[in-house]
Homo-oligomer: A and B are copies of this chain.
Amino acid sequence: MNQTLPPSSVIEALLAELGPLAVLAGDDVPVRNHNDYSGLQASPPLAVVRPANTAGVAAAMRICHEHGVAVVPQGGLTGLCGGARAPAGQVALSLERMVGIEEIDSAAATMTVLAGTPLETIQLAATAAGFFCPLDLGARGSCAIGGNLSTNAGGNRVIRYGMAREMVLGIEVVLPNGIVVTSLNKMIKNNAGFDLKHLFIGSEGTLGIITRVVLRMFPKPASAMVAICAAKDYGNVLTLLNSARQNLGPLLSAFEVMWPDYWQFATTQAPGVSNPLKGDNTAYGAYVLVEALGTDPVHDAQRFESWLGGLLESGVVPNAALAQSLADGRAFWSIRDASGELHPLWPSHLAFDIGLPVACMDDYARRCREVLQARIPSVQALFYGHIGDGNLHIIVYQPGAAEQPKALVDGIVYGLVREYGGTVSAEHGIGTLKRQWLGHARSPEEIELMRVIKKALDPQALLNPGKVI
């Protein structure tokens, strides 16, 4: 490390090693590499390096390491917490040229891909091979699989298929010092020493740069059943959840709860969304989208319908709508996805991605709403989320405010998270935006252990410094 070298020195070394196509500096850095989706202020990096292969990533890391220059890995730049934003003076290392499916192994049901490959490309390749890639999120067209793993992405089907972490069998990673660790395991069972991949998955590019991935593929579902169920109160939501677990078993693929505030917003204000429930349905305590994916179109649908009929008869579900077509199913999902339509209506609204033990979610929502209303005049707050996974989303907006009261709302939302033993990030990660709140979800001993690991792998703090911890 030589801190006294001028910035031009590292750029020259990178150019000499990787060539002009791979190294853009100064005004040549594309605007897209100035930021991610976090809403933080844009920040042009010293340079952006775009290696064509793992050897190029390793060379770039080695050079930056030798020059004492910090590196920020970049994928599809769709992260929401600032993890891929490079502060001034740091080098952005983009995986955008490392795109492609390297191998599909039908017997092992695995796919080996380069880390810059967009998620949607992977989904389509799995489908073309007769399999299914269950990882799915709104940014599928632009997010890269390396970033999905770095943030351990979640999405709508975690209740059935798990987080991104659960879909990975092997990775290749470049360490801060430029060493390449190739661990492209294709076996579900491999207990030969520590399982290194989990160290890099979910650590937001602070311990190494993921360059290749072995993903599991799953059987393609042949049937999809979707229903919207109303419930009197949260107690009945939990009864419904247990019934769904027990009766739909491993077919249960989504259990999305919407509190009345969210339901009213989505069905009356969101463009293109209609209310599928008949009769007056403004008085329920919660609304649930239940989805099951099966392998037998005829029998699965019959069973789903008869299960739902039983719940209507017993009163656990006083009102429900069952999708009769793919179009119905899409329409039901559009209610749940209406949160994406909020930007024009509520510009700069605050959005949260917290986790809570399932049993106390409604209690949390009630108290959070009360405190927000007591402290912020005319505040709007919407609650919804993947309840079966312990994940609650919250949207907060103060109409007419010159600036949204972010610090105040952060304090209220994350203060209560600590009280209920929840987490400040269920799926989006920590990045820089939530770093000050990490102590609300993790103990001092947990954070100290993260620091010990960070220091062991990156003693000079040159890989994505200032992120997570």
Q: Please list the residues of chain A having a beta carbon within 8 angstroms of any beta carbon in chain B.
A: 105-109, 130, 151-152, 154, 158-160, 162-163, 165-166, 175, 179-183, 185-196, 198-199, 201-203, 207, 219-221, 238, 241-242, 245-251, 294-296, 299, 303, 355-359, 386, 388-391, 421-430, 434, 438, 441-443, 445-450, 452-453, 455-457, 468-469
- CA distance in complex: A106, B245 (Å): 11
Across the interface, name the chain B residue whose C-beta is closest to A452.
B456
Name the B residues within 8 Å of A469 (CB-CB): 193
- CA distance in complex: A242, B394 (Å): 42
Name the B residues within 8 Å of A303 (CB-CB): 296, 299
- CA distance in complex: A452, B196 (Å): 11
Nearest Cβ distance between residue A245 and chain B, in whole angstroms?
5
- Contacting pair A445 B180 (CB below 8 A): yes
Nearest Cβ distance between residue A117 and chain B, in whole angstroms?
21
List 6 additional A-B contacts (Cβ < 8 Å) besides A158-B189, A187-B355: A175-B449, A182-B443, A198-B198, A246-B295, A250-B250, A456-B456
- Contacting pair B443 A192 (CB below 8 A): no
Nearest Cβ distance between residue A259 and chain B, in whole angstroms?
17
- CA distance in complex: A386, B469 (Å): 41
- Contacting pair B249 A219 (CB below 8 A): yes
Name the B residues within 8 Å of A186 (CB-CB): 357, 390, 421
Across the interface, name the chain B residue whose C-beta is closest to A241.
B107
Nearest Cβ distance between residue A239 and chain B, in whole angstroms?
10
Nearest Cβ distance between residue A188 and chain B, in whole angstroms?
4
- Contacting pair B193 A438 (CB below 8 A): yes
Most chain-B Cβ atoms within 10 A of its Cβ — which of A109, A192, A428, A442? A192
- CA distance in complex: A182, B448 (Å): 12
This chain's copy number in the assembly: 2
Nearest Cβ distance between residue A155 and chain B, in whole angstroms?
10
21 A-B pairs within 8 Å (CB atoms) are namely A108-B357, A109-B245, A109-B358, A162-B188, A163-B188, A166-B166, A181-B449, A183-B442, A186-B421, A187-B422, A188-B391, A189-B355, A191-B202, A191-B427, A193-B203, A193-B468, A195-B202, A246-B295, A247-B295, A449-B457, A452-B456
Across the interface, name the chain B residue whose C-beta is closest to A250.
B250
Given contacts A198-B198, A456-B456, contact A430 B220 (CB under 8 A): no
Nearest Cβ distance between residue A224 and chain B, in whole angstroms?
12
Name the B residues within 8 Å of A426 (CB-CB): 187, 189-191
- Contacting pair B429 A191 (CB below 8 A): yes
Name the B residues within 8 Å of A299 (CB-CB): 299, 303
Name the B residues within 8 Å of A446 (CB-CB): 181-183, 193, 196
Given contacts A107-B238, A453-B453, contact A194 B183 (CB under 8 A): no
- Contacting pair A181 B445 (CB below 8 A): yes
Given contacts A175-B449, A182-B445, A358-B107, contact A430 B390 (CB under 8 A): no
- Contacting pair B438 A192 (CB below 8 A): yes
Name the B residues within 8 Å of A106 (CB-CB): 242
- CA distance in complex: A162, B441 (Å): 27
Name the B residues within 8 Å of A250 (CB-CB): 160, 219, 249-251
Name the B residues within 8 Å of A159 (CB-CB): 188
Name the B residues within 8 Å of A246 (CB-CB): 130, 219-220, 295
Across the interface, name the chain B residue whose C-beta is closest to A202.
B195
Across the interface, name the chain B residue whose C-beta is closest to A421.
B186
Name the B residues within 8 Å of A241 (CB-CB): 107
- CA distance in complex: A106, B359 (Å): 8
Across the interface, name the chain B residue whose C-beta is closest to A387.
B107
In order of increasing CB-CB distance, the 5 nearest A-B pairs are A456-B456, A198-B198, A187-B390, A250-B250, A107-B359
Choose from B189, B356, B429, B443 the contact partner of A183 (Cβ within 8 Å): B443
- CA distance in complex: A389, B191 (Å): 12
